[in-house]
Structure 1
Amino acid sequence: MVSRENRVIAGSFVLFVLAMVGWFVLENATGIADGDHPLVMFLVLYGLPVVLPQLYLAATGDGGVTPRTRVRFAVAFSGLFALVTVGSAGVRWSWSTAFDDLEMLQYTLLGAIGIGAFGGLFCYEVLAGYRSSMADTAP
């Protein structure tokens, strides 16, 4: 018997394949290339198959993995791949060009997602560590 966690992950993969097929059909019909919309491609390539099932399983609390670990994985994974996407594009970013066109704006948002994810995760872990150390020293 297949576990619920495996069914959720398989379902997200099927959703990912359907989204990619839909994207290619739209690309052929309109002539819009996938490189023109890096934010949408980031959400389809990384959000659907990896982040969405982890957040769903964290919300339902199923499986042997704690919800906190699932959320941390989803945040770290999305932050890492947002920064990898921006870095691999070879974008020459500056304040004067950050909002010039839609593509540059999307890469700027991806960079903000990556930095924000790691910054938020770092702050959360520091706060959790502080709270656990204060609980250990409380009378």
Structure 2
Amino acid sequence: MVSRENRVIAGSFVLFVLAIVGLLALETVTGVAAGEYPLVAFLVVYGLPVVAPQLYLAATGSGDVSPRTRVRFAVAFSGVFALVIVGGADVDWSWSIAFDDLETVQYTLLGAIGIGAFAGLLCYEVLEGYRSSTADTAP
């Protein structure tokens, strides 16, 4: 019998394939390539097959892995993936970035997602460490 965790992951992979087929059909009809939009590519390529099942399994609390570990995995790897995409971008970063270019805005949002994911994870871990240390010393 297939475990619930494997069914959720397989279902998210099916959604991923359907999203790719939909994007290819949309590209054929409209002529707009999904590869021109890095934020959409990030959400489809990484969000559906990796983050969505981990967050769903964390919310339902099923499986052998703790929900906290699932959320950590989803946040850490989404931050890494977002920063890898931004690192490979051919964008001229300067202090006077003009946000009139949609591609620059999308790469800036991806950078904010990556940095925000790591900052949020760091703050969460520091807060949890503080809570566990104060719980150990309480009378």
TM-score, normalization by structure 1:
0.96
Deviation string 1:22-59 (CA, Å, 9 cap, x unpaired) is 10111121111223211011000000000000000000
Query: Equivalent residue for 2:38?
Result: 38
Quote the Cα distance in structure 1 between the aligned partners of 2:100 and 2:14: 36
Quote the Cα distance in structure 2 between the aligned partners of 1:20 and 1:38: 14
CA contact (8 A) 1:98 1:108 kept: no
Query: Equivalent residue for 1:130?
Result: 130
Quote the Cα distance in structure 1 between the aligned partners of 2:109 and 2:54: 22
Task: Provide the aligned C-alpha RMSD in A.
Answer: 1.0
Query: Equivalent residue for 1:61?
Result: 61
Quote the Cα distance in structure 2 between the aligned partners of 1:97 and 1:36: 19
Larger mean Cα displacement after TM superposition, 34-43 or 123-132: 34-43
Quote the Cα distance in structure 2 between the aligned partners of 1:68 and 1:98: 39
Query: Equivalent residue for 1:109?
Result: 109
Q: Using the TM superposition, give the Cα deviation of residue 4 of structure 1 relative to its aligned residue in structure 2, in angstroms.
A: 0.3
Matches within 5 A, 1:17-96: 17-96=17-96
The percentage of aligned residue pairs carrying the same residue is 80
Q: In the comparison of the two structures, how many residue pairs are matched?
A: 139
Q: Using the TM superposition, give the Cα deviation of residue 77 of structure 1 relative to its aligned residue in structure 2, in angstroms.
A: 1.0
Query: Structure 1 runs of 4+ off > 3 angstroms?
Result: none
Structure 1: gaps spanning 5 or more residues: none
Q: Using the TM superposition, give the Cα deviation of residue 136 of structure 1 relative to its aligned residue in structure 2, in angstroms.
A: 1.0
Kindly provide the amino acid, as one letter, of the partner of residue 31 in structure 1: G
CA contact (8 A) 1:79 1:115 kept: yes
Q: Using the TM superposition, give the Cα deviation of residue 71 of structure 1 relative to its aligned residue in structure 2, in angstroms.
A: 0.6
Q: Using the TM superposition, give the Cα deviation of residue 94 of structure 1 relative to its aligned residue in structure 2, in angstroms.
A: 2.2
Quote the Cα distance in structure 1 between the aligned partners of 2:136 and 2:21: 53
Kindly provide the amino acid, as one letter, of the partner of residue 112 in structure 1: A
